[in-house]
Structure 1
Amino acid sequence: MYVVSVINYKGGVGKTTVTANLGAELANRGMKVLLIDLDPQASLTFGFYDPDDWRERLRDSRTVKRWYDGLREGNPSITLGELVVSPGPANARLTGTGRLDLIASHLQLVDIDLALARSVAGGEEYDAELFRVRGSLAEGLLADGLEPYDMVLIDCPPNFNVVTQSAIIASDHLVIPAKADYLSTLGIDYLHGNVRELVEQYNADARQFATVRRHQKVAPGVAGVVFTMIQLLARQPIATHQRYMDQVRNLGLPVFPTALRENVTLYATNTPRGVPVVLRDRVTVPAVRDELRQLATEFLDHLQPDRQPV
């Protein structure tokens, strides 16, 4: 099972779009995919479930907030596997044996992060408790019921809070969506540095606080930066966008060859309800769907360089 966090400090760069469509395309290729929505804005969740449906079926008992509530109290009373739901409309569009599941978010997840932060805000056991909280999601993903998944994609909030840190520690790889502009690319090097420092500190703490003799070393790598909302001229990114894309490459970070063009209308329209763009039969701009599918291929090539083409 691969665990991948989709992350950027800046909001509005296409994190949720990338997560939903990448997961849907991988499921359409026969993989069993679990999406986890850790963003309190719950955009990924509402991309698959109507808000009224969420309130009636998920809000009180089937969101990741319930699991983090238990974590704050010392030990989750429910496993992550018990929170999994299967969005019907999206799964109805899949071909073959794949599956697309979701652990939904909650609008009050931001309060959980503050509570978790307070729980490690002082005292003699500060370092040990922070280590436990940071490693909680990695441990939770070992729960019964999650074994069948080939891929877990985590839609992270646009910050570096305790919940985000737990996602990074749980991950094998990171995908960083970014717009090709000054503000969106400015923080990528800073994010990469913070991830490196977090991982080094966590691995150092593991030698002191891990409850098992041989704690697995955490080492998430950047699978790639994917540029979104690109404007094209003669099928190539405009010069302004290309300049920022080159700046990121110069940082030494991998960049996916396929960039996603801007199409506000297509991505903003949730029609048919709960079906990501990559699974829609009728798309007004087929090239958008083709880009999403090509991104999935490049993503798999990074994870499985020796695999046979799909």
Structure 2
Amino acid sequence: MVRRHPGGYGSPSGEVPSVYVVSVINYKGGVGKTTVTANLGAELANRGMKVLLIDLDPQTSLTFSFYDPDDWRERLRDGRTVKRWYDGLRGDTPAVTLGELVVSPGPANAHLTGAGRLDLIASHLGLADIDLALARGVADGEDYDRELFRVRGALAEGLHDAALDGYDLVLIDCPPNFNVVTQSAVIASDHLLIPAKADYLSTLGIDHLCGSVGELVDRYNADARRFATSRRHHKVAPDVAGVVFTMIQLTAQRPIAAHQGYLDQVRALGLPVFPTALRENVTLFAGNTPRGVPVVLRHRVTSPVVQEELRQITTEFIAHLQPREVTV
């Protein structure tokens, strides 16, 4: 894996990070966002990459894809989740680095066939309260704009942790909203990946999401000129890696007419759409991943076609990144 950062994203420190960051994001829940994140990360790791997943969704679905809830309560809940980092950001507890929170899901890594690695920074059910507390802290501050700039840029700053330098890619599973935590993920990202269902609300939400991202980036870059402590601050400019459609119904190996219409509408927005879509599969999208091993890594699967689609989506994802950043 070769990483070539164009200097397109930065933090208030002005330093260019050595790890490449992609946020998986959609306003709408229930679109397969966590399924895409877990399987994309797992397949990239299986191809030899060192991948870090960060679960920013307080529903903790990505975390529970790799850890049993009882195991999470016993080993992670009290000190090894991203909530602890946000607590430190607010000053409620002593600050920790993101590197101190990394865990390695054993079952998933045992299924990797190469030299790659798949690690995780787990989420916490209380992360929703953290976002509310961050928002209150901003509203009550003496300098609203400066504090909001700091909070929005905090994750980008945190990813400069030297302990994370060995990773080729960070994949962030964002909550289905555009709160302060989600905004910090956008600011930290080189690319955004948008899973979506082929329906009216998802299509409408994608257009609105892209508009919100554009407004956020413009505001953050303007604030950087006012508040950044270094003149070397790099302009934030996350790109949309593409829209990957999920839960597609097929006829004669092609999306049904109703679904194809929504795919065409998204292309009309000028956004790249992955050629491969994930077909509807009750087991895949039903909930947590059994045994902590994503479908794409399982040797025995009930739907090898879906497994192959996940692998093809991974290939398409890599191909999109190659011109700017990645060769494999």
TM-score normalised by L of structure 1:
0.97
Given that 1:113 and 1:163 are in contact with CA atoms closer than 8 Å, whether structure 2 keeps it comes out as yes
For structure 1, list consecutive stretches of 5 or more residues without a partner in the other structure: none
Aligned-residue offset at 1:123:
4.2
Give the drift of 1:276.
0.2
**Equivalent residue number for residue 103 of structure 2:** 85
Matches within 5 A, 1:81-160: 81-160=99-178
> Do 1:6 and 1:174's aligned partners in 2 also have CA atoms closer than 8 Å?
yes
Letter in 2 for 1:179: K
Distance in 1 (CA, whole Å) between partners of 2:123 and 2:326 is 35
Once residues 206 and 243 of structure 1 are traced to their aligned partners in structure 2, the CA distance between those partners, rounded to angstroms, is: 41
The CA distance in 2 between the partners of 1:193 and 1:135, in whole Å, is 19
1:73 is aligned to: 91
> Hey, what's the Cα distance between the residues in 2 that align with 1:231 and 1:140?
41
Q: Distance in 2 between matches of 1:37 and 1:308?
A: 23
Aligned equivalents of 1:306, 1:168: Cα separation in 2: 18
Cα deviation per residue 1:147-168 (whole Å; 9 max; x = unaligned)? 0000000000000000000000
The size of the alignment, in residue pairs, is 310
Would you say 1:298 and 2:316 are equivalent positions? yes
Amino acid at match of 1:53: D
> Given the superposition, is the C-alpha separation of residues 308 and 163 from structure 1 closer, same or farther in structure 2, using an over 3 Å criterion?
closer
| 2-structure distance, mates of 1:276, 1:293 | 12
1:122 Cα deviation after fit? 3.8
Does the Cα contact within 8 Å between 1:301 and 1:307 map onto a contact in 2?
no
Q: More relative contact order in 1 or in 2 (CA 8 Å, sep 6+)?
A: 2
Cα deviation code 1:192-240 (max 9, x no counterpart): 0100010010000001101112101100000000000000000000000
Which TM-score applies when normalising by structure 2? 0.92
Residue identity (%): 81
Superposition CA RMSD, Å: 1.6
Match of 2:302 in 1: 284
Deviation at 1:268, TM superposition (A): 3.0
Q: Secondary structure at the match of 1:102?
A: strand
CA distance in 1, matches of 2:290, 2:200: 34
Q: Give, in whole Å, the separation in 1 of the partners of 2:119 and 2:262.
A: 35
Counterpart code for 2:43: E
Kindly state the Cα deviation for residue 267 of structure 1 after the two structures are TM-superposed.
4.0
Please tell me whether the aligned partners of residues 63 and 105 of structure 1 are also in contact (alpha carbons under 8 angstroms): yes
Aligned counterpart for 2:226 among listed residues 205, 208, 227: 208
Partner residue of 2:205?
187
